Amino acid sequence: MTEDVPHHSPADRSIPPAGALVLEVGALDRPLDLDALFGRQAPVELEIGIGSGFFLSRYALERPDLNLLGLDHMGSEVYRTADKCVRLGLAHVRVVRCDAVYFLETFVRTGSVAACHVYYSDPWPKRRHHKRRLWRPAFVAQVARVLAPGGSLLLKTDVTEYFEVIDAVVRGHGGLELAEDRRLDLDPMPGDIESNFQGKAVAAGHPLHYQRWVRRAEG
């Protein structure tokens, strides 16, 4: 089901063409100059696994002070997100189709990111598919590397078994400190951006696990 885009009048902002928001991996510098990429200096936050762009577009509306970069491995989701952002006149968003570990390792400088959002990544429940899961040591190592000291990793999942895997792999890195841990279905978070997926999970009685980890200043 297609999610509605909130009404917004773009009269007071410069609306970019749709293609301007979508980055082509083959044309990018290695590593990226993020200020040049966005055409301004501002803190950069990433969302990995943008889906239809529900979170990224609404977060961008709330945070015009940030430069926001979304990653997904599906081209259809990248273009859906770009279309949402263009219709909202959001010039401070960029999206790219790429494997997350490869993109972080190849294009993102150490300590250049203020926050990384990873919400409801595919749990790949069948054991033979576990190797496809996003949350593995190589991914956490790259997230920790690109985060600035004090930067945040924010995550959600509605699958308890996968949450236990995520918690263990993040703790195993050692460079991130747990700052917040809650069940959103039992203890809703003020200001939380609730996607249609999240709302349906709550209605179905799923546990909604949320954590925020902070990059340690040392190491």
Active site residue 158: no
Q: Is 133 exposed, middle or buried (0-12, 13-18, 19+ CB in 10 A)?
A: middle
Q: Is 127 exposed, middle or buried (0-12, 13-18, 19+ CB in 10 A)?
A: exposed
Q: Among 83, 122, 167, 192, which one carries the catalytic annotation?
A: 122
Taken in order 142, 63, 30, 20, is the CA torsion positive or negative? positive
Name the one residue in this structure whose structure tokens are 């989701």.
77
CB 100 within 8 A of CB 139: yes
The catalytic site residues sit at 122
